[in-house]
Structure 1
Amino acid sequence: MTHVRAFSSDTHIFRPLKFNTISVCKVAIEPIKPSELPKMTHGLRCINKSYPLCVTKVEESGEHIILGTGELYLDCVLHDLRVMYSEIEIKVSDPVVSFCETVEECSSITCQATTKNKKNSLSMICEPLHSDIAKDIVEEKVSIEWSGRKLAQYFEQEYGWDALAGRNIWAFGPEKNGANILMDDTLPSEVDKSRLNEIRSSVVQGFEWATREGPLCDEPIRNCKFKLINAQIAENAFDFGGGQIIPTARRCIYSSFMLATPKLMEPILFVETLCPPDCIKAIEDVVSHRRGRILKEVPKPGSPFILVYAELPAIDSFGFETDLRSHTHGQAFALQVFSRWDIVPGDPMDDTITLMPLEPHPPHKLAKEFVVKTRKRKGLSETITYHKYFDDEMMKQFAALYDDQD
């Protein structure tokens, strides 16, 4: 017993696995016979143990979702689910990809949200977060568990932040290594810091909730910095509990996000193709047809082959290898891996865009198309309603802002 107590609380049986890629491709599944749902659920639990990179979850619509790194990975997962673990027939949806939500500019006005009891209010703004900072957070080069002094020193040395800003970082989100930052930017002369600290955990919970499910299409928020500008807190502790503060913080984050030129981000795959020199033109045609671009072409030492490096949007990568081999008569072999997130062309909030079914859309309509289709798939309404995220007073300011612009 003494020996067991000597272990620290951070001791684990196995160290969590870390991967150089993430799962961005997903399919929805359901059993052909509804009575076999328990068998499929058991099979999904087995899949989680057999495939470390595979993620299984249930959407709010009730759909069972499987996420994998690519088309071949999902084929292997579904084969094992059907044949080895559940031994049932499964209906599979068309593959789609995960998206992220981000902003391009700072919030046009300071956004305020009031609690339901009208006794507390929070004010925030949203700004873009530098991609290098987001990358450091995701790769755990910096941790929110560091002391305020160490955080301030890191951001001051690496990114030129002032020491006060580094000390006032409250959280990374949606997880401890999430690519968003929540900061306290309030002034001691305007806000009672001791009472602000009492609601800090509730504000952080609202921040994590909001960044896990963004306002555009319930996809995670990425590369955003949220600053708490002001807070009015009730005198009685009973009036600023978590039930009041958490949804208010979430709504305040959403409203500041919506006024900072929101954009949609899609996963980009790095593609390495091995082929003979006479196949390069065919590869360029296939890649360009799928919104991709060729990075470079280099000879493979000691062989007559060429290595073609390219980037390809993950949503346009399904069927890429089959297409590639048919155009090169089986002479080209491709390897795909997640590379980075990139902004989807177009404005996801443009209500003037009309989407026609079963028609390819030009680049400036892609963001709107992806948002609408993702919302439909998740059982949400096609249009994003501002009234959900803005108080009445904020709606008046919002309307006045657009009247001035007109």
Structure 2
Amino acid sequence: EDGRVAFGSALHRWGINLPHMKAKGITFKDIIDAYTGEPEEIAKKVEELSKRIPLYEPILDMFCEHLPSPLEAQPYRQSQIWPGSPDSPIGKAMAKVDPNGPLLMCVTFVEVDPHSGVVAIGRVFSGTVEKGKTVQMVTGRQKGLIQQVYMSMATDRVIVDKIPAGNIAAISGLPSIRVGETIAEADMEVQPFESLKYVSDPVVTVAVEPEDVKDLPLFDKVIHKITLEDPNLHFRIDKESGQYLLSGMGELHLEVTAYRMQEAGLKVKMSPPIVIYRETVSRNYNGPPVMGKSPNKHNKLWVTIEKLSEDVIQAIKTGKINEMQSRDERQKILTKEYGWSTDDARNLIAIEDTNVLVNRIKGRQYVEEVIEHIKAGFRDAVNTGVLAKEPIYGIKVNLEDIIVHEDPVHRGPAQILPMTWRPIWGAFLLSDPKLLEPILSFECKVPQDFVSPVISLLQKRRGRVVDITNEEDMVIVKAELPVAESFGIADELRSSTQGRAFWATQFSHWAPVPESMQSEVIKQIRTRKGLPPTPPKPEEFYDTE
């Protein structure tokens, strides 16, 4: 009743809350009537509705009436979003929303403007953003010059000279900026804001290409724009097949992306969706360290691998453990909260997705000169696993010992990279490897009469019902469903419930592919990628004295 809840349509640009309904004398019957009739008649009535009750009015009123001002909210929110010290100069300036303090801004949205280029939009928590100011991008570890400052006025973007703390600013000119970036004073040491957390990993891939080869320049431009604006979209070119691969959160996400491409004037062809899997190990490797030799046989590396615990994996995913931390800070978290040994926690030297590299090597020469090549070899190994060339999930690679040739000519990247990824793959194959598949959480609200068809549909698709609850005359079915079994479920659900089911899915977790299906799924993936149907043997990757 106090206007905290609004109803509306972003697509058709109308919106109401109870105070606006009373003020404008509109009822839900008026809205239902607007959507009743022939398509042309509906379009005309909905257009009139958007003029009578425009969406922005209740939304802006709700912001003004129910959200606290930055002066009131920032002091108590500061510790929840920024890990720095509240007693530091920048911490004190944040608490006061001080426009004269050191600059600190968090980028929450990035868009590509045809005239201004990449525009970063975010909240200024301290200081003032100014045209011509040199700033640092803390997470990206680079500096840049703010070329233009904008303030949004409804749908327009107005150029201004500066925007002080407490406001939302738009800036252009900064290189390679991404959502979640922290912008700060150029020469000040500052903690970045906590990384943004996304509810999903990209779990479905399609091959995409322009219908007309002449549209390749436009294709490149549009792909750059949409992947920059939507961090949940991943784009890459397959080195072996030359295909353009686009990965997203699900079938619907990729359909919406294809629609956005069409809106930009680009017609594309998309392949049927392909599920992204992960590879992991069932247990720690428990044999002697696995040795890898460089192609010239002058360098040797010994490694072991362990399975990371789920709580450490979650800490990496949420950014609680990251490469931006100081060595001491990371060591403290790993030893006190996750029970790691002091040596391993202190010598964690690389994190790639949910995998980590630990350097246990002691008393060997030339290690520092090759360690960057070893990190690159580790990243290669975990980004393209050995079972089915899918990314590896949740392993800890330990560098146990090394022998490096004294002559730099014999220890370049062409020698060190294979010496690194080969024993990692060998140890991986010796640790009972398995394939993981993405699982969706599924929730469906349906009338009582249609519960059985929904449950039957889930069971047919390897779904697992987690909970069934009643809400007035509707039943809510909660379940878990493999992504591989989710394609085409919308049409089937619609027909089996006569269109009366309201449902949603989102990524939940990774789970092992059932044992009875493992070998067949691996074979299918390898065949699709043009690989021999059977995974290689461990002996093909490790060396002996």
TM-score normalised over the length of structure 2: 0.62
- Pair member with larger Rg: 2
Deviation at 1:283, TM superposition (A): 1.5
RMSD of Structure 2 on Structure 1 (CA): 2.6
Cα gap change, 1:169 to 1:7, in 2 (>3 Å): closer
What SS does the corresponding residue of 2:264 show, helix, strand or coil? helix
Is it true that 1:106 corresponds to 2:106 in the alignment? Answer: no
Match of 1:210 in 2: 381
Task: Choose the corresponding residue for 1:58, options 229, 237, 250.
Answer: 237
* 1:118 corresponds to which of 294, 297, 303: 297
CA distance in 2 between partners of 1:290 and 1:30 (Å): 30
1:151 aligns with 2:330: yes
**Separation in 2, partners of 1:72, 1:118:** 51
- Paired AA for residue 285 in structure 1: S
Amino acid at match of 1:68: G
Q: For residue 304 of structure 1, what is the aligned residue in structure 2?
A: 473
**Paired position in structure 1 for 2:496:** 327
> Counterpart in 2 of 1:29?
208
Say if 1:265 and 1:341, in contact at 8 Å, map to a contact too.
yes
Distance 1:103 1:307 in 2: 36
2:258 matches 1:78: yes
Q: Deviations over 1:64-114 (max 9, x none)?
A: 222221222222222332x323443x4322211111110012225331110
Percentage of matched positions with identical amino acids? 29
Q: State how far apart, in whole Å, the 1-side matches of 2:309 and 2:250 are.
A: 28
Aligned residue in 1 for 2:531: 380
Residues 191-270 of structure 1 mapped to structure 2, 5 A cutoff: 191-192=363-364, 195-270=366-441
The residue type equivalent to 2:179 in the other structure is P
Partners of 2:209 and 2:219 in 1: CA distance: 8
Pair 1:135 & 2:314 matched: yes
- Matching of residue 341 in structure 1 with residue 510 in structure 2: yes
Aligned to 1:401: none
Task: Identify the residue that residue 453 of structure 2 maps to in structure 1.
Answer: 282
Per the TM alignment, residue 342 of structure 1 is displaced from its structure 2 partner at its CA by 0.8
Displacement, 1:7?
4.5
Aligned residues: 364
Counterpart position of 2:249: 69
Are the equivalent residues in 2 in contact too, given 1:211–1:221 (CA < 8 A)?
yes
Per-residue Cα deviation, 1:331-358 (whole angstroms, up to 9, x for no partner): 2121010111111122xxxxxxxxxxxx
Q: 1:74 to 1:160 in 2, by over 3 A?
A: same
Q: CA deviation at 1:43?
A: 3.8
Please tell me the residue identity of whatever aligns with 1:122. Answer: L
Map residues 173-188 of structure 1 onto 2, 5 A cutoff. 173=352, 178-186=353-361, 188=362
Residue aligned with 1:141, SS:
coil
Distance 2:401 2:276 in 1: 34
The separation in 2 between residues aligned to 1:5 and 1:328, in whole angstroms, is: 59
Conserved? CA contact 1:268–1:339, under 8 Å = yes
State which drifts further: 199-208 or 22-31. Answer: 22-31
> Could you say what secondary structure the match of 1:27 adopts?
strand
| Aligned twin of 1:404 | none
* AA at the equivalent of 1:281: S
Work out the CA distance in 2 between the residues paired with 1:322 and 1:195: 61
Pair 1:37–1:389, CA change in 2 (3 A): farther
Higher mean displacement: 306-315 or 324-333:
324-333
**CA distance 1:41–1:146, shift in 2 (3 Å):** closer
Structure 2 residue matching 1:214: 3-state secondary structure: coil
Q: Kindly indicate whether the alpha-carbon contact (under 8 Å) linking 1:265 and 1:344 is maintained by their aligned counterparts in 2.
A: yes
Distance 2:263 2:131 in 1: 44
Q: 1:391 to 1:137 in 2, by over 3 A?
A: closer
Write the distance in 2 (CA, Å) between the matches of 1:290 and 1:112.
Answer: 43
Q: Is the 8 A contact 2:405 2:411 kept in 1?
A: yes
Query: How far 1:269 moved relative to its partner?
Result: 0.5
Q: Secondary structure at the match of 1:105?
A: coil
Question: How has the CA–CA distance of structure 1 residues 126 and 39 changed in structure 2, closer, same or farther, with 3 Å as cutoff?
Answer: same
| More strand, by proportion | 2
Choose from 362, 367, 373 the match for 2:518.
367
Cα gap change, 1:92 to 1:388, in 2 (>3 Å): farther
Candidates 342, 363, 374, aligned match of 1:163: 342
Per the alignment, in what secondary structure is the counterpart of residue 145 of structure 1? coil
Change in CA separation of 1:385 and 1:8 when aligned onto 2, cut-off 3 Å: closer
Secondary structure of the residue aligned to 2:499 is coil
Tell me how far 1:42 sits from its aligned partner.
4.0
Match of 2:493, SS? helix
Give the whole-Å Cα distance in 2 for the aligned partners of 1:277 and 1:328: 10
Mapped partners of 1:368, 1:137: distance in 2: 30
Aligned equivalent of 2:541? 390
Aligned partner (choices 176, 179, 189) of residue 16 of structure 1 = 179
Q: Which runs of 5+ in 2 are unaligned?
A: 1-129, 145-173, 181-195
Change (3 A) 1:79 1:132: same
Give the whole-Å Cα distance in 1 for the aligned partners of 2:131 and 2:486.
56
Aligned residue type for 1:199 = V
- Corresponding position of 1:97: 275
